[in-house]
Amino acid sequence: MEIFIAQLISGLSLGSIYVLLVTGFNLMLLVAKIIQFAYPQIVVISMYTCWWALKITSNKLLIIIAGITVSVALSLLSEPIFRKISSIKDVDINATFIASMGIAMIMMDVMSHSFNYGFPVAFPPKWIGGNILSFGLITISKGQLFALVGGVIAVSVFFYLLYRTNQGRFFRAIAENRLAAELVGIPITKTSIFSYFIVGILGGFSAILFSMLIGSASPWLGEFVALKMLAVSIVAGLGNLHGGLVCGLLLGIIEAIAVGYISGSWSNVIAFVIMLAVILIKPEGLFGTKI
């Protein structure tokens, strides 16, 4: 039972980061109308930025700012490309997926060539922190706590923005009906650019929490995270923000429990087999698609 509780805590921490990633991905899908496959690669580059910043300074605020700035900058840099693609006649949303795949390939190759000579990086213990609570087999590390609390705060702030502010109303209006939103005077391009900005912040924040939780980064991490993020978004239902919240947490819990009871990388397969089975049985997602 103790193992189960320990893995449950670990799963909730991991799941909260997945929720952040899926939320960012879904926001891009709903507002900017793009399938941003390169989003996890942006997160990994942001993790590398934190690692570099840690070498220069020990000021955590500066490190966090550096991570988020890079993520926002990369997210905003991709905006003109996707805007141009979306404006091309007879081109659908799949084209944005294909282009983002190209961007992901570039980012991955740059990371595997240039960042730390392609070797994975490990974050120092001062960044990850040790255990802050130990009770039998149940231990809560600083990284787990930060991931859990940070994830909950970030998602809460995002949903507050979405449901309690004008900008959030703009987001929802565009997601519901782009043409009608334009007709009532909502600035589509401006709101779309703002969604890239928000997604950049979410990505940077995910990178910081991820680096604290897993303590390492590698060029191949993005590919792995992308697969999980996309699978969760499909299982939940494309563009379904609430569904993504539930399914992101569930994936984290399933993965952590599988790690607790099954050895090696087989634990990852369990989570993927479950997701694959759900997609095959219910291709439109558990909570229904919103696009």
Partner 1 sequence: MSEVLYYFLGFSAIYILMGWALYLPYRVGQLNYLIVACMAITAYFGGFAAREWNWPFPVILIIGIMISTIIGLIFSQAIGKAPCFTVVIVGLTSVFIVKTVIENWKLLGGTVGFFHIPNVNGMLIIIYGLLILVGFLIYRIDHSRWGRAASVVFVDKDVAVSLGVDIKKIGMFFQIVSCAIAGMAGTLDAFLVRSLSPEFFTFGMIGYLMCILFVGGYTTMWGVIFSAFFLQGIPLMFPSSIASWRQVIYGALLVLIILLRPEGIITRKMLWRMKPKAYFPVNTQIKNSKS
Interacting residues toward partner 1 by CB under 8 A: 35, 81, 84-85, 88, 90-91, 94-95, 97-99, 101-106, 108-110, 113, 223, 227, 230-231, 234, 238, 264-266, 268-269, 272-273, 275-276, 279-281, 283-284
d(CA 192, CA 195) in angstroms, rounded, equals: 5
Tokens of 232: 């969760």
Nearest to 158 by CA among 258, 150, 223: 150
Q: Bridge-partner residues for 216, per DSSP? A: 122
Residue 148 or residue 236: which is nearer to partner 1 going by CB? Answer: 236
Please check whether residue 216 is in contact with residue 193, taking contact to mean a CB–CB distance below 8 angstroms: no
Q: What is the nearest approach in angstroms of partner 1 to the Cβ of residue 281?
A: 7
Residue 90 or residue 126: which is nearer to partner 1 going by CB? Answer: 90
Residue for token digits 């992901």?
104
Residue 8 or residue 286: which is nearer to partner 1 going by CB? Answer: 286
Q: What is the nearest approach in angstroms of partner 1 to the Cβ of residue 168?
A: 25
Residue 68 or residue 230: which is nearer to partner 1 going by CB? Answer: 230
Residue 207 or residue 232: which is nearer to partner 1 going by CB? Answer: 232
Q: What is the nearest approach in angstroms of partner 1 to the Cβ of residue 227?
A: 5
Question: What's 135's DSSP letter?
Answer: E
Q: What is the nearest approach in angstroms of partner 1 to the Cβ of residue 188?
A: 20
d(CA 78, CA 76) in angstroms, rounded, equals: 5
Chain centroid to Cα 200, Å, comes to: 10
Chain centroid to Cα 245, Å, comes to: 11
Residue 163 or residue 266: which is nearer to partner 1 going by CB? Answer: 266
Q: What is the nearest approach in angstroms of partner 1 to the Cβ of residue 38?
A: 9
Residue 24 or residue 67: which is nearer to partner 1 going by CB? Answer: 24
Burial (Cβ within 10 Å: 0-12, 13-18, ≥19) of residue 210: buried
d(CA 105, CA 222) in angstroms, rounded, equals: 10
d(CA 149, CA 37) in angstroms, rounded, equals: 27
Q: What is the nearest approach in angstroms of partner 1 to the Cβ of residue 23?
A: 17
Tokens of 172: 């929802």
Q: What is the nearest approach in angstroms of partner 1 to the Cβ of residue 139?
A: 28
Please check whether residue 71 is in contact with residue 207, taking contact to mean a CB–CB distance below 8 angstroms: yes
